[in-house]
Structure 1
Amino acid sequence: MKSIAPAALAALERGDPIVVGAVEIASDPVLCVWGGYREITFDGRTFKPLRDRTLVQVAGGALGGQAQSITLVLSGIEPEVLELLDASEVAGAPVTLWRTIWDSSGTQMLGYDVWGRGHLDTLPREEEIGGTAKITATIETPARSSGRRGARMRSDADQRLIDPNDGFFKNVAYAGEKKLYWGGRRADRAGSVLGGGGGRGSGGGGRLVQR
Protein backbone atom coordinates (compact mmCIF):
# COMPACT_ATOMS: atom_id res chain seq x y z
CA MET A 1 0.00 0.00 0.00
CA LYS A 2 1.33 3.43 -0.95
CA SER A 3 1.65 6.03 1.78
CA ILE A 4 0.70 9.55 0.70
CA ALA A 5 0.88 12.66 2.86
CA PRO A 6 -2.57 13.86 4.03
CA ALA A 7 -2.23 17.22 2.25
CA ALA A 8 -1.34 15.49 -1.03
CA LEU A 9 -4.16 13.00 -0.62
CA ALA A 10 -6.63 15.82 0.02
CA ALA A 11 -5.47 17.62 -3.12
CA LEU A 12 -5.91 14.45 -5.18
CA GLU A 13 -9.41 14.04 -3.81
CA ARG A 14 -10.25 17.65 -4.72
CA GLY A 15 -8.76 17.13 -8.17
CA ASP A 16 -6.60 20.25 -8.23
CA PRO A 17 -2.96 19.17 -7.76
CA ILE A 18 -0.11 19.31 -10.23
CA VAL A 19 1.71 15.99 -10.50
CA VAL A 20 5.32 15.88 -11.68
CA GLY A 21 7.35 12.75 -12.24
CA ALA A 22 10.87 12.04 -11.02
CA VAL A 23 13.27 9.22 -11.90
CA GLU A 24 16.22 7.81 -9.99
CA ILE A 25 18.65 5.61 -11.94
CA ALA A 26 21.04 3.90 -9.53
CA SER A 27 24.02 3.87 -11.88
CA ASP A 28 27.52 5.09 -10.99
CA PRO A 29 27.09 7.96 -10.37
CA VAL A 30 23.42 7.90 -9.40
CA LEU A 31 21.24 9.93 -11.78
CA CYS A 32 18.15 11.72 -10.45
CA VAL A 33 15.99 13.89 -12.75
CA TRP A 34 12.48 15.29 -12.62
CA GLY A 35 10.15 17.28 -14.88
CA GLY A 36 10.50 20.67 -13.19
CA TYR A 37 12.50 23.87 -13.56
CA ARG A 38 14.77 23.78 -10.51
CA GLU A 39 16.58 21.32 -8.32
CA ILE A 40 14.51 19.76 -5.56
CA THR A 41 15.42 17.47 -2.69
CA PHE A 42 13.18 14.90 -1.06
CA ASP A 43 13.71 11.56 0.63
CA GLY A 44 17.40 12.40 0.87
CA ARG A 45 17.79 12.69 -2.92
CA THR A 46 18.44 15.75 -5.08
CA PHE A 47 16.77 15.74 -8.50
CA LYS A 48 18.03 17.81 -11.43
CA PRO A 49 15.38 19.56 -13.55
CA LEU A 50 14.42 18.55 -17.08
CA ARG A 51 12.83 22.00 -17.52
CA ASP A 52 9.32 20.91 -18.41
CA ARG A 53 10.46 18.30 -20.91
CA THR A 54 8.03 15.50 -21.51
CA LEU A 55 8.42 12.65 -19.04
CA VAL A 56 5.75 10.02 -19.54
CA GLN A 57 5.30 6.68 -17.83
CA VAL A 58 2.95 4.04 -19.23
CA ALA A 59 2.45 0.62 -17.69
CA GLY A 60 0.17 -2.06 -19.10
CA GLY A 61 -0.68 -5.48 -17.74
CA ALA A 62 -2.96 -8.47 -18.01
CA LEU A 63 -4.36 -10.41 -15.07
CA GLY A 64 -2.23 -13.51 -14.62
CA GLY A 65 -0.04 -12.57 -17.54
CA GLN A 66 3.67 -12.09 -17.73
CA ALA A 67 5.37 -9.13 -16.12
CA GLN A 68 4.97 -6.03 -18.25
CA SER A 69 7.67 -3.48 -18.86
CA ILE A 70 7.45 0.22 -18.08
CA THR A 71 8.28 2.70 -20.80
CA LEU A 72 9.66 6.18 -20.18
CA VAL A 73 9.80 8.72 -22.99
CA LEU A 74 11.96 11.80 -22.47
CA SER A 75 11.76 14.40 -25.25
CA GLY A 76 13.86 17.48 -25.86
CA ILE A 77 16.78 16.26 -23.77
CA GLU A 78 19.63 18.76 -23.93
CA PRO A 79 23.26 17.69 -24.58
CA GLU A 80 24.47 18.12 -20.98
CA VAL A 81 21.68 15.87 -19.72
CA LEU A 82 22.19 13.42 -22.57
CA GLU A 83 25.78 12.86 -21.46
CA LEU A 84 24.50 11.56 -18.13
CA LEU A 85 22.37 8.95 -19.85
CA ASP A 86 25.11 6.95 -21.52
CA ALA A 87 23.56 3.58 -22.31
CA SER A 88 26.68 1.57 -21.46
CA GLU A 89 26.82 3.03 -17.96
CA VAL A 90 23.17 2.78 -16.97
CA ALA A 91 22.21 -0.55 -18.59
CA GLY A 92 20.73 -2.89 -15.99
CA ALA A 93 20.74 -0.21 -13.31
CA PRO A 94 17.91 -0.20 -10.74
CA VAL A 95 15.29 2.46 -11.46
CA THR A 96 12.78 4.08 -9.12
CA LEU A 97 9.89 6.17 -10.44
CA TRP A 98 8.55 8.84 -8.11
CA ARG A 99 5.34 10.83 -8.22
CA THR A 100 5.59 14.29 -6.65
CA ILE A 101 2.36 16.09 -5.83
CA TRP A 102 2.24 19.90 -5.79
CA ASP A 103 -0.39 22.50 -4.98
CA SER A 104 -2.33 24.14 -7.81
CA SER A 105 0.24 26.95 -8.08
CA GLY A 106 3.10 24.48 -8.52
CA THR A 107 5.20 26.16 -5.83
CA GLN A 108 4.68 23.90 -2.80
CA MET A 109 5.25 20.15 -2.83
CA LEU A 110 2.52 18.48 -0.82
CA GLY A 111 3.90 14.97 -0.90
CA TYR A 112 5.51 12.20 -2.93
CA ASP A 113 5.35 8.44 -3.33
CA VAL A 114 7.10 5.67 -5.23
CA TRP A 115 5.22 4.93 -8.46
CA GLY A 116 7.22 1.90 -9.57
CA ARG A 117 10.56 0.09 -9.50
CA GLY A 118 12.53 -1.98 -11.96
CA HIS A 119 15.80 -2.36 -13.86
CA LEU A 120 16.76 -0.44 -16.98
CA ASP A 121 16.71 -2.71 -20.00
CA THR A 122 17.13 -0.70 -23.21
CA LEU A 123 17.86 2.98 -23.76
CA PRO A 124 17.56 3.86 -27.46
CA ARG A 125 17.95 7.51 -28.39
CA GLU A 126 16.80 9.56 -31.36
CA GLU A 127 18.62 12.76 -32.20
CA GLU A 128 16.43 15.78 -32.94
CA ILE A 129 17.07 18.97 -34.87
CA GLY A 130 18.47 21.67 -32.62
CA GLY A 131 20.89 19.57 -30.63
CA THR A 132 18.30 17.85 -28.45
CA ALA A 133 17.33 14.19 -28.35
CA LYS A 134 14.46 11.87 -27.57
CA ILE A 135 15.15 8.90 -25.31
CA THR A 136 12.86 5.92 -24.84
CA ALA A 137 13.82 3.86 -21.81
CA THR A 138 12.43 0.38 -21.18
CA ILE A 139 12.29 -0.73 -17.56
CA GLU A 140 11.70 -4.36 -16.72
CA THR A 141 9.90 -5.11 -13.48
CA PRO A 142 8.78 -8.46 -12.00
CA ALA A 143 6.26 -6.78 -9.74
CA ARG A 144 3.27 -7.51 -11.96
CA SER A 145 3.84 -11.25 -11.84
CA SER A 146 5.16 -11.60 -8.30
CA GLY A 147 2.05 -13.45 -7.20
CA ARG A 148 2.01 -15.86 -10.12
CA ARG A 149 3.07 -19.49 -9.84
CA GLY A 150 4.04 -21.70 -12.76
CA ALA A 151 2.91 -21.07 -16.31
CA ARG A 152 -0.84 -21.07 -15.69
CA MET A 153 -2.80 -17.91 -16.42
CA ARG A 154 -6.10 -16.82 -14.91
CA SER A 155 -7.87 -16.56 -18.26
CA ASP A 156 -10.72 -18.24 -20.09
CA ALA A 157 -8.44 -19.49 -22.87
CA ASP A 158 -6.02 -21.10 -20.42
CA GLN A 159 -8.78 -22.74 -18.38
CA ARG A 160 -10.37 -24.27 -21.49
CA LEU A 161 -7.06 -25.94 -22.31
CA ILE A 162 -7.69 -28.03 -19.19
CA ASP A 163 -11.44 -28.48 -19.71
CA PRO A 164 -13.08 -27.15 -22.91
CA ASN A 165 -16.44 -27.01 -21.12
CA ASP A 166 -15.20 -25.05 -18.13
CA GLY A 167 -16.22 -21.43 -18.67
CA PHE A 168 -15.50 -20.25 -15.13
CA PHE A 169 -13.17 -17.48 -16.34
CA LYS A 170 -15.22 -16.35 -19.33
CA ASN A 171 -16.29 -13.18 -17.55
CA VAL A 172 -12.93 -12.60 -15.89
CA ALA A 173 -10.68 -10.50 -18.07
CA TYR A 174 -8.31 -7.67 -17.39
CA ALA A 175 -6.30 -5.57 -19.74
CA GLY A 176 -5.24 -2.35 -18.13
CA GLU A 177 -3.27 0.71 -18.93
CA LYS A 178 -2.17 3.26 -16.38
CA LYS A 179 -0.97 6.67 -17.41
CA LEU A 180 0.70 9.23 -15.23
CA TYR A 181 0.82 12.69 -16.77
CA TRP A 182 4.21 13.97 -15.68
CA GLY A 183 5.04 17.64 -15.63
CA GLY A 184 1.59 19.22 -15.33
CA ARG A 185 -2.12 18.69 -15.35
CA ARG A 186 -3.67 15.68 -17.03
CA ALA A 187 -5.24 15.99 -20.47
CA ASP A 188 -8.96 16.74 -20.58
CA ARG A 189 -11.31 13.93 -21.54
CA ALA A 190 -14.41 14.37 -23.65
CA GLY A 191 -16.68 13.70 -20.68
CA SER A 192 -15.15 16.48 -18.62
CA VAL A 193 -15.07 19.00 -21.47
CA LEU A 194 -18.60 18.36 -22.72
CA GLY A 195 -20.12 17.59 -19.35
CA GLY A 196 -21.10 14.06 -20.34
CA GLY A 197 -21.87 11.31 -17.85
CA GLY A 198 -19.90 8.29 -16.91
CA GLY A 199 -16.82 10.15 -15.70
CA ARG A 200 -15.42 11.76 -12.60
CA GLY A 201 -16.09 15.33 -13.73
CA SER A 202 -13.66 18.03 -14.74
CA GLY A 203 -10.52 19.41 -13.23
CA GLY A 204 -7.63 17.82 -11.46
CA GLY A 205 -4.08 17.54 -12.57
CA GLY A 206 -2.14 14.36 -12.33
CA ARG A 207 -5.07 12.06 -11.65
CA LEU A 208 -4.45 8.44 -12.49
CA VAL A 209 -6.35 7.03 -15.44
CA GLN A 210 -6.94 3.28 -15.64
CA ARG A 211 -8.70 1.70 -18.56
Structure 2
Amino acid sequence: MKTIAPAALAALDRGDAIVVGAIEIAADPVSRVWGGPWPITFDGRTFEPLGDRTMVQVASGALGGQAQSITLTLSGLEPELLELLEAAEVAGAPTTLWRLIFDSSGTVLLGYNVWGRGRLDTLDREEEIGGTATITAKVETPARSMGKRGARMRSDADQRLIDPDDGFFKHVAYAGEKKLYWGGRAPERAGSVLSDSIRAIRRAMR
Protein backbone atom coordinates (compact mmCIF):
# COMPACT_ATOMS: atom_id res chain seq x y z
CA MET A 1 0.00 0.00 0.00
CA LYS A 2 1.33 3.42 -0.99
CA THR A 3 0.98 6.07 1.75
CA ILE A 4 0.79 9.68 0.59
CA ALA A 5 1.11 12.67 2.93
CA PRO A 6 -2.18 14.60 3.40
CA ALA A 7 -0.72 17.84 1.97
CA ALA A 8 0.51 16.00 -1.11
CA LEU A 9 -2.81 14.21 -1.53
CA ALA A 10 -4.67 17.53 -1.29
CA ALA A 11 -2.45 19.05 -3.97
CA LEU A 12 -3.08 16.06 -6.23
CA ASP A 13 -6.83 16.42 -5.69
CA ARG A 14 -6.66 20.12 -6.60
CA GLY A 15 -4.62 19.34 -9.68
CA ASP A 16 -1.83 21.82 -8.90
CA ALA A 17 0.82 19.35 -7.70
CA ILE A 18 4.08 18.86 -9.60
CA VAL A 19 5.15 15.21 -9.70
CA VAL A 20 8.81 14.31 -10.19
CA GLY A 21 10.59 10.99 -9.84
CA ALA A 22 13.78 9.67 -8.27
CA ILE A 23 15.67 6.41 -8.61
CA GLU A 24 18.24 4.66 -6.44
CA ILE A 25 20.41 1.86 -7.86
CA ALA A 26 22.09 0.19 -4.88
CA ALA A 27 25.19 -0.97 -6.74
CA ASP A 28 28.82 -0.16 -5.88
CA PRO A 29 28.89 2.79 -5.76
CA VAL A 30 25.24 3.65 -5.13
CA SER A 31 23.65 5.82 -7.83
CA ARG A 32 20.86 8.23 -6.88
CA VAL A 33 19.33 10.69 -9.36
CA TRP A 34 16.06 12.58 -9.69
CA GLY A 35 14.31 14.66 -12.36
CA GLY A 36 14.86 18.09 -10.82
CA PRO A 37 17.44 20.85 -11.33
CA TRP A 38 19.21 20.75 -7.94
CA PRO A 39 20.39 18.13 -5.39
CA ILE A 40 17.65 17.03 -3.01
CA THR A 41 17.67 15.04 0.23
CA PHE A 42 14.75 12.99 1.56
CA ASP A 43 14.41 9.76 3.51
CA GLY A 44 18.04 10.23 4.57
CA ARG A 45 19.28 9.98 0.96
CA THR A 46 20.71 12.67 -1.34
CA PHE A 47 19.84 12.54 -5.04
CA GLU A 48 21.74 14.30 -7.81
CA PRO A 49 19.77 16.29 -10.41
CA LEU A 50 19.08 15.15 -13.95
CA GLY A 51 17.92 18.63 -14.95
CA ASP A 52 14.94 19.97 -16.87
CA ARG A 53 16.31 18.95 -20.28
CA THR A 54 16.21 15.26 -19.43
CA MET A 55 13.09 13.34 -20.35
CA VAL A 56 12.28 10.50 -17.97
CA GLN A 57 9.55 7.99 -18.68
CA VAL A 58 8.55 5.00 -16.57
CA ALA A 59 6.31 2.27 -17.95
CA SER A 60 5.11 -0.93 -16.31
CA GLY A 61 2.51 -3.58 -16.82
CA ALA A 62 0.04 -4.78 -14.20
CA LEU A 63 -1.34 -8.29 -13.98
CA GLY A 64 -4.12 -8.82 -11.48
CA GLY A 65 -3.02 -5.76 -9.53
CA GLN A 66 0.59 -6.97 -9.32
CA ALA A 67 3.31 -4.95 -11.06
CA GLN A 68 5.39 -6.76 -13.65
CA SER A 69 8.69 -5.49 -15.06
CA ILE A 70 9.36 -1.73 -15.07
CA THR A 71 11.10 0.05 -17.92
CA LEU A 72 12.81 3.35 -17.11
CA THR A 73 13.94 5.52 -20.03
CA LEU A 74 16.15 8.59 -19.54
CA SER A 75 16.78 10.61 -22.68
CA GLY A 76 18.70 13.82 -23.31
CA LEU A 77 21.41 12.94 -20.78
CA GLU A 78 24.51 15.11 -20.80
CA PRO A 79 27.90 13.26 -20.67
CA GLU A 80 28.56 14.26 -17.06
CA LEU A 81 25.23 12.77 -15.98
CA LEU A 82 26.13 9.41 -17.49
CA GLU A 83 28.86 8.99 -14.87
CA LEU A 84 26.21 9.01 -12.14
CA LEU A 85 24.63 5.93 -13.70
CA GLU A 86 27.87 4.12 -14.56
CA ALA A 87 28.13 1.95 -11.46
CA ALA A 88 30.77 -0.78 -11.56
CA GLU A 89 28.29 -3.58 -10.97
CA VAL A 90 24.65 -2.86 -11.74
CA ALA A 91 23.36 -6.26 -12.82
CA GLY A 92 20.89 -7.47 -10.23
CA ALA A 93 21.34 -4.36 -8.08
CA PRO A 94 18.38 -3.50 -5.83
CA THR A 95 16.50 -0.57 -7.38
CA THR A 96 13.92 1.75 -5.86
CA LEU A 97 11.80 4.34 -7.66
CA TRP A 98 10.17 7.19 -5.75
CA ARG A 99 7.42 9.61 -6.66
CA LEU A 100 8.04 13.10 -5.28
CA ILE A 101 5.10 15.48 -4.98
CA PHE A 102 5.78 19.23 -4.91
CA ASP A 103 3.52 22.25 -4.55
CA SER A 104 2.59 24.35 -7.60
CA SER A 105 5.83 26.37 -7.31
CA GLY A 106 7.94 23.23 -7.59
CA THR A 107 10.07 24.26 -4.61
CA VAL A 108 8.25 22.74 -1.60
CA LEU A 109 8.32 18.96 -1.27
CA LEU A 110 4.90 18.00 0.09
CA GLY A 111 5.46 14.28 0.22
CA TYR A 112 7.02 11.23 -1.38
CA ASN A 113 6.32 7.54 -1.69
CA VAL A 114 7.92 4.44 -3.20
CA TRP A 115 6.51 3.92 -6.71
CA GLY A 116 8.21 0.58 -7.33
CA ARG A 117 10.99 -1.76 -6.21
CA GLY A 118 12.95 -4.51 -7.87
CA ARG A 119 16.34 -5.52 -9.20
CA LEU A 120 18.04 -4.01 -12.21
CA ASP A 121 17.87 -6.52 -15.04
CA THR A 122 19.48 -4.63 -17.95
CA LEU A 123 20.91 -1.16 -18.54
CA ASP A 124 21.14 -0.22 -22.22
CA ARG A 125 22.84 2.93 -23.44
CA GLU A 126 22.68 4.85 -26.73
CA GLU A 127 24.98 7.79 -27.36
CA GLU A 128 25.22 10.45 -30.04
CA ILE A 129 28.75 11.58 -30.90
CA GLY A 130 29.20 15.03 -29.40
CA GLY A 131 25.62 15.01 -28.16
CA THR A 132 23.37 13.56 -25.50
CA ALA A 133 22.59 9.96 -24.63
CA THR A 134 19.64 7.74 -23.80
CA ILE A 135 19.67 5.08 -21.08
CA THR A 136 17.00 2.39 -20.80
CA ALA A 137 16.89 0.43 -17.56
CA LYS A 138 14.69 -2.61 -17.03
CA VAL A 139 13.78 -3.43 -13.46
CA GLU A 140 12.40 -6.85 -12.53
CA THR A 141 9.91 -6.57 -9.69
CA PRO A 142 9.27 -9.29 -7.08
CA ALA A 143 5.98 -10.15 -8.80
CA ARG A 144 7.84 -10.86 -12.02
CA SER A 145 9.95 -13.59 -10.44
CA MET A 146 7.10 -15.44 -8.75
CA GLY A 147 6.38 -18.91 -10.05
CA LYS A 148 8.96 -19.17 -12.82
CA ARG A 149 8.45 -22.91 -13.17
CA GLY A 150 6.86 -22.67 -16.61
CA ALA A 151 6.03 -20.14 -19.28
CA ARG A 152 5.05 -16.63 -18.26
CA MET A 153 1.30 -16.08 -18.65
CA ARG A 154 -0.32 -12.69 -19.21
CA SER A 155 -3.77 -13.53 -20.54
CA ASP A 156 -6.47 -16.16 -20.68
CA ALA A 157 -5.46 -17.04 -24.25
CA ASP A 158 -1.82 -17.58 -23.24
CA GLN A 159 -2.77 -19.81 -20.34
CA ARG A 160 -5.11 -21.93 -22.45
CA LEU A 161 -2.23 -22.68 -24.83
CA ILE A 162 -0.65 -24.53 -21.90
CA ASP A 163 -3.86 -26.01 -20.46
CA PRO A 164 -7.06 -25.63 -22.55
CA ASP A 165 -9.21 -26.28 -19.47
CA ASP A 166 -7.53 -23.65 -17.27
CA GLY A 167 -9.64 -20.49 -17.50
CA PHE A 168 -8.30 -18.74 -14.40
CA PHE A 169 -6.87 -15.76 -16.26
CA LYS A 170 -10.22 -14.76 -17.75
CA HIS A 171 -10.92 -13.25 -14.32
CA VAL A 172 -7.67 -11.25 -14.29
CA ALA A 173 -7.32 -7.90 -16.03
CA TYR A 174 -4.03 -6.88 -17.61
CA ALA A 175 -3.05 -3.22 -17.93
CA GLY A 176 -0.63 -3.40 -20.82
CA GLU A 177 1.30 -0.27 -19.95
CA LYS A 178 1.20 2.41 -17.28
CA LYS A 179 3.33 5.49 -17.83
CA LEU A 180 4.65 8.13 -15.47
CA TYR A 181 6.63 11.07 -16.85
CA TRP A 182 9.31 12.62 -14.65
CA GLY A 183 10.49 15.98 -15.86
CA GLY A 184 10.68 17.20 -19.42
CA ARG A 185 7.60 17.41 -21.60
CA ALA A 186 5.43 14.36 -22.12
CA PRO A 187 5.07 13.35 -25.78
CA GLU A 188 1.93 14.66 -27.46
CA ARG A 189 -0.32 12.69 -29.75
CA ALA A 190 -0.01 13.56 -33.41
CA GLY A 191 -3.60 14.77 -33.46
CA SER A 192 -3.06 17.25 -30.64
CA VAL A 193 0.16 18.54 -32.20
CA LEU A 194 -1.59 19.02 -35.55
CA SER A 195 -4.51 20.81 -33.91
CA ASP A 196 -2.15 23.16 -32.07
CA SER A 197 -0.33 23.93 -35.33
CA ILE A 198 -3.57 24.68 -37.17
CA ARG A 199 -4.72 27.00 -34.40
CA ALA A 200 -1.37 28.81 -34.47
CA ILE A 201 -1.62 29.30 -38.26
CA ARG A 202 -5.15 30.64 -37.97
CA ARG A 203 -4.11 33.13 -35.31
CA ALA A 204 -1.23 34.32 -37.50
CA MET A 205 -3.56 34.85 -40.48
CA ARG A 206 -6.01 37.03 -38.55
**Which of the two has greater strand per residue?**
2
Local SS of the residue matching 1:143: helix
- Cα distance in 1 for partners of 2:63, 2:8 equals 29
- Cα distance in 1 for partners of 2:11, 2:187 equals 17
8 A contact 2:28–2:87 mirrored in 1: no
8 A contact 1:64–1:155 mirrored in 2: no
8 A contact 2:68–2:144 mirrored in 1: yes
- Cα distance in 1 for partners of 2:85, 2:131 equals 15
Query: TM-score, with normalisation over the residues of structure 2?
Result: 0.76
- Cα distance in 2 for partners of 1:138, 1:154 equals 18
Q: After the TM superposition, which residues 136-175 of structure 1 pair with which residues of structure 2 at under 5 Å, given as runs?
A: 136-143=136-143, 146=146, 155-157=155-157, 158=159, 170=170, 173-175=173-175
Identity of aligned residues (%): 70
Q: Which residue of 2 aligns with 1:15?
A: 15
Query: TM-score, with normalisation over the residues of structure 1?
Result: 0.74
Give the Å deviation of 1:80: 1.9
Give the Å deviation of 1:36: 0.4
- Cα distance in 2 for partners of 1:51, 1:71 equals 20
Local SS of the residue matching 2:51: coil
Give the Å deviation of 1:79: 1.8
Structure 1 residue runs without a partner (length 5+): 190-211
8 A contact 2:30–2:87 mirrored in 1: no
**The 10-residue stretch of structure 1 (150-159 or 175-184) with the greater mean CA deviation from structure 2:** 150-159
Aligned residues: 187
1:56 aligns with 2:57: yes
Structure 1 residues 61 and 132: alpha-carbon distance in aligned structure 2, compared to 1, 3 A threshold: same
Structure 2 residue runs without a partner (length 5+): 190-206
8 A contact 1:87–1:123 mirrored in 2: no
Local SS of the residue matching 2:3: coil
Local SS of the residue matching 1:68: strand
Residue identity matched to 2:50: L
- Cα distance in 2 for partners of 1:75, 1:161 equals 39
**Superimposed CA distance per residue, residues 121-178 of structure 1 (whole angstroms, 9 cap, x where no aligned partner):** 11111112433211111111123565x69659685433696565x8786575423321
